[in-house]
Structure 1
């Protein structure tokens, strides 16, 4: 059954006049009559009764009209939804982020997205950088806001800001009252470190800084969970490494830890937006465009 026959039938059911319905459809009256006859033969029922005085629907035609109207409206909705998705105006974007992104970048991007693409759902997932980048490669995330070095050729990226790495210590630690410490003072200090896969860029920066200064880190504990790291620091005389944003967050939480900046040249990591270049649906393109407008220039270092 051809869809155009259904549209023609609806026009005739609305006008109840072959001449007006044909004009509305940009058809001749004979063409409209032929379409109606073919539709009735296909269905095996009479839909329209025509006399010299009137055109009216049969009882079967009335019922058929209700169902056809629903079909045409649903197809129209489906067409509009498909176009909206293709244009990036509808759909879902899965976004991973860390604390630095949430503090300084993501709220601005989400505000622009909501204004321009209110039908696009942004699914947010807070994860450490390593987990974000792994999920991105596996197709579980569309965009990652993570600490990252230079991305591979299959990943697009944009540098957003430089984030300092700070020391996290307990309130009773000798460093707790210091305004800043030299990284070289870590020689002989028991440290808390995480597995490299948790945040490769931060891990590599910490190790590279220690090697450059010719010191060996005394790793007393390996803890991957950030909350557990803060608890260990608050209860033991050890030094942990976190971003400046995370240090502020843990200090404000009041569980007994403080953040102490390193003296310049302080180690730091780049916060980047990262995405797959070979799989970029229109919703991701829309999100990245909003990122460009919300954050037109990289934030200042420090």
Structure 2
């Protein structure tokens, strides 16, 4: 049983006309008939019935058609995979991401990548900005999705998303339920922050907004895990910070949540989410980057 004979049979099955099927495959009609005869001898049953008035599939041909379609499709995918490997479009891309990227960027990117390059796999790691950039620098990541635009000359970046920061407070906090709070109201409020190395862009954005408001922040707690910020805010009279996207998951208005989020204004602290990759990179990274959606504002 040869693949070309299956292709000829499928053309006949779809056209139900030997002349049209032969023209579609750029074959002479006698050659097409020979392909069918050889296939039927190989299978051992008649697959096509024809007379001077019509061409139709036999019951055996109808059954055979579905399996033949699968065989031909698999052969085509095998060829595509081989060509992708030869062109460097097969393998694994290691991608780091933070929460907003996981919510807004990765789903559409992975869908497009699977559609365009099914031979490329993606291994994903959720990390804060600092650890992602460290992993990118030592080769453990191929692409990072981080807050801020790195200054390193050996890295290239692209803006993906602009995300506002919000305050995270417990349900008993005096801000709970407010529509918004001026950033200057943080003067004297005990805050939960994190080590700057974990996310320098987020850290600097918070302190820049404080300077613009003419206040100094009171750092009462320091935790490096974003989930721990919500836990502390739920049990202590402190103010944490989160992206608006993450904040929605910890909001008291969601079932089981013990905190709520409050938009910060005057100024609104905004984080720029960038895709970052080495300036010198291969076709796998190119294929992933081509599938990134256009930038947006959350």
Gaps of 5+ in 2: 1-78
Question: Cα offset for 1:186?
Answer: 0.2
Alignment of structure 1 residues 56-95 onto 2, 5 Å: 84-95=84-95
Q: CA RMSD in A?
A: 1.9
1:159 matched to which residue of 2? 159
Aligned residue-pair number: 219
Distance 1:248 1:151 in 2: 31
* 2:104 is equivalent to residue 96 of structure 1: no
Question: Cα offset for 1:112?
Answer: 0.5
Instruction: Indicate if the aligned counterparts of 1:167 and 1:241 stay in contact, CA closer than 8 A.
Output: yes
1:145 matched to which residue of 2? 145
Q: Does the residue aligned with 1:84 lie in a helix, a strand or coil?
A: helix
- Decide whether aligned partners of structure 1 residues 188 and 86 sit closer, same or farther in structure 2, where only a CA change above 3 A counts: farther
1:45 matched to which residue of 2? none
Question: Cα offset for 1:103?
Answer: 1.2
Within the candidate set 261, 264, 285, 1:262 is matched to 264
CA deviation string 1:216-261 (max 9, x = no partner): 1111100111111111010000000111111012224633111110
Alignment of structure 1 residues 244-255 onto 2, 5 Å: 244-251=244-251, 252=254, 254-255=256-257
Distance 1:253 1:152 in 2: 43
1:285 matched to which residue of 2? 286
- Give TM-score scaled by structure 2 length: 0.70
Instruction: Indicate if the aligned counterparts of 2:212 and 2:267 stay in contact, CA closer than 8 A.
Output: no
Instruction: Indicate if the aligned counterparts of 1:85 and 1:283 stay in contact, CA closer than 8 A.
Output: no
Distance 1:179 1:254 in 2: 21
Distance 1:170 1:145 in 2: 29
CA deviation string 1:252-287 (max 9, x = no partner): 463311111012430111011100112x12111111
Q: Does the residue aligned with 1:262 lie in a helix, a strand or coil?
A: strand
- Between 248-257 and 161-170, report the one with greater CA deviation: 248-257
Alignment of structure 1 residues 1-302 onto 2, 5 Å: 84-251=84-251, 252=254, 254-278=256-280, 280-291=281-292, 295=293, 297-300=294-297, 302=298
Larger Rg: 1
Distance 1:213 1:179 in 2: 19
Distance 1:125 1:285 in 2: 19
Gaps of 5+ in 1: 1-78
